[in-house]
Every structure is written in C-alpha cells, then in structure tokens.
Amino acid sequence: MTKLSVNINKIATIRNARGGNTPNVVQVAIDCERFGAQGITVHPRPDERHITTKDVYDLQQVVKTEFNIEGYPDGRFMQMIKEIKPAQATLVPDPPGVLTSNAGWDTEKHFDFLKEICAELKSYGVRTSIFIETDFHLLDNAKALGVDRVEFYTGPYAEQFAENKEKAVLPYVQAVKHAHQLGLGINAGHDLSLENLRYFKQQVGVLDEVSIGHALISDALYFGLENTIQQYLFQLRD
C-alpha cells in the first residue's frame, strides 16, 4: 500500500500572509490525519516563509502518523532532526532562496557530504530519504550512501503528462525498478495531482509513499479537505 503524506507548507503560507494563527497549521495536521492521511510532511526553510521552526516543534507533539521533515541538511536542519527524531528526514538540495524543490541531488558531486550526513541521521535512528532524479548512476551512489529511501522528483513527469503520459512515466518505471533491485525504498513527490497520480502509481508499481502539498491544498479549496484527502487515497488504491 502506498502511503499519502500531506505536505502542509501551503497552509502555513496562507497563515503567514496575514499573521496570527489562521489557518491553524497544527489543527490542519491533526485533521489531515483524522481524514485518512498516513503522514505529514513539512519543509522548514531558513527564511521561514511558510513552515517555521516553532511549527515543527509544535507538530512533533501532535503528529501520530509518520512525520516527514524535508530540507537542505545545514546545521539548523540537522539540529532539528536530532531533537525531534521524526519518522523520516528527506534531504533536498535547495539553496536558501529557491522558490520550490526543482531538482534532485547530484549524488556523485556531493557524495562525501551526503555520506557524512546520512551517517549522522542513522545515528539518530531516523529513516533517511534523498530527493533524486531517474539517472541510474545517481541511484547507485544513493545506495552507496546508505540511504533507506529515494524520493523521485516527479516535476518532469507532471509537465509532460498531458502531452504524452507514456513517454513521461517511462524513465520513472525504469528507475523505480532499478532502485527496487538495489533494495531502496521508493517515495515520490512534486506536482503529483488528482489528474496524474493514479497513472503514475499504476505504471511504476512499487511505491512506498507520495508527498503531496500544492495540488492537494489547492483541490481542498474546491472539494474540502476531508473529501480531497479521500480522493487522493482513492487514486493510490491497488
């Protein structure tokens, strides 16, 4: 069964636009779990433009499913992981000013850095995942790093889906098979939606978790949060 982890960054973005605590990020996380989500994802960026450091510690107290904290592994991020010990830490190669995660790690160029980071995360007892693209060599390096999972960056799939979904998904089918053969767990995220999620899941087969935020929160404006989560869970059914 593929788990749905709801990324609640956009909830914090709306809150921060006006200040105060509306919408309440912690309550939304509780509600997402109550409505069927099997995980909560946050990305506490250094500029705190959506999820803040305080949010992460507040969420630690209430998340009862899998808590996934993603981000660039600087000192602030690593201290947070050490203290909170979430179910999963997902490493992304974002520089501080980037708008959104739009590329995977170059696991050859950054091998030594990531190797040290992964070893530290292992010492905390935290499952480690890295944001990655479909290149087999990058996946081989990921295995050598000692990560538990890879999260495939699905932006290119989403961009090409309407034009040629078979062509769009093929690199992921091949890469997921290779990663599975390496013994890596398989996550996916970025621009997955109600339109393209079911096809992706059906084609790649092996898929442990998807992390979805922007599309899901946008859909919730029309369908309501509970109904939207149920629709996404339906797309993930075998």
Active site residues: 43, 70, 190
CA angle 42/48/50 to nearest 5° reads: 55
Tokens of 10: 């956009």
How many whole angstroms separate alpha carbon 9 and alpha carbon 215?
A: 12
Relative to beta strand 39-42, strand 185-189 is unpaired
Residue 95 DSSP SS3: coil
How many whole angstroms separate alpha carbon 51 and alpha carbon 48?
A: 6
How many whole angstroms separate alpha carbon 195 and alpha carbon 63?
A: 28
| Helix boundaries (H) for 43-152 | 53-60, 75-84, 111-123, 136-145
